[in-house]
Amino acid sequence: MEYDCNKAFTEAFYKVDKITNTYKDVQWGSDESQKIRFHYLNKLFKSDNKERASLLDVGCGIAHYYDFLLDGKFTNIQYTGLDIQKSFIEYASEKHRNSIFINKSLFELETDKKYDYVVASGTFNVTLPNVNMYQYIKQCIDKMYDLCNKGIAFNLLSSNTPKEYMGDKETYFNPIEILKLCFEHTNKIDLYHSYKINDFTIIIFK
């Protein structure tokens, strides 16, 4: 039975009282842990940094990933941010007035538009109440892949994380099981599991 992903998120689930424009707003442990994940997402388009390319950032928060891209001189990226949290979208829109920001969930985004690249960083870490997280991540991967022209990248918490580093509010995915879901689309896949003790990144090319 297919899970109704539109019911997975509500704005209240990610309520933030005051935006500080730091990693704390989006529940990262540190600035460093956020940026190292961004670095691996960039491997999706490392050879495509000259021509104009469109990118959709799923669960964009306050567009820290776009800040990271601009700091890295990826000025060829036409960035669109997607997030359910209205205050995040309003803040990011003020920060980057030439970019597009959409206040919807991934499954509320009904569009014929395709993006060259679709990414998600930290978007799938928190365990959602009353949700089969494996069904949920499968539908997210399928949706992201459908939306892209060239490829997608996302990171997840790893089930190989030592128990003393595991939290009780996060979902830890088996990388092998996630790879199986990805292989349903293509065999053009990279997996990175060595950059942090608790995290892995998957890149899928079309």
Domains of the chain: 27-205 (3.40.50.150)
Q: What is the pLDDT of residue 135?
A: 92
For position 1, what pLDDT does the model report?
39
Query: End-to-end CA distance of the chain, in Å?
Result: 28
| pLDDT number for residue 27 | 61
Which helix (H) or strand (E) element contains residue 183?
Answer: helix 175-183
Mean pLDDT, consecutive 10-residue segments, the chain of 206 residues?
A: 47 61 60 88 82 93 94 91 91 94 90 93 86 92 96 97 88 96 97 96 97
Closest among 101, 117, 100 to 55, alpha carbons compared: 117
pLDDT for the residue numbered 87: 87
CA geometry: angle at 54 spanning 143 and 21, to 5°? 90
Cα separation, 76 vs 198, whole angstroms: 32
What's residue 20's pLDDT? 66
Give the pLDDT of residue 18. Answer: 74
pLDDT of 141-185, one tens digit each? 999 999 999 999 999 999 999 999 888 888 999 999 999 999 999
pLDDT at residue number 11:
47
What the block records as the tokens of 63 is 């567009």
- DSSP label at 108? G
Dihedral angle sign, alpha carbons of residues 51, 52, 58, 60: positive
Q: Which of 82, 34, 86 is nearest to 57 (CA)?
A: 82
Are the C-beta atoms of residues 105 and 8 closer than 8 Å to each other? yes
Residue 192 has what pLDDT? Answer: 98
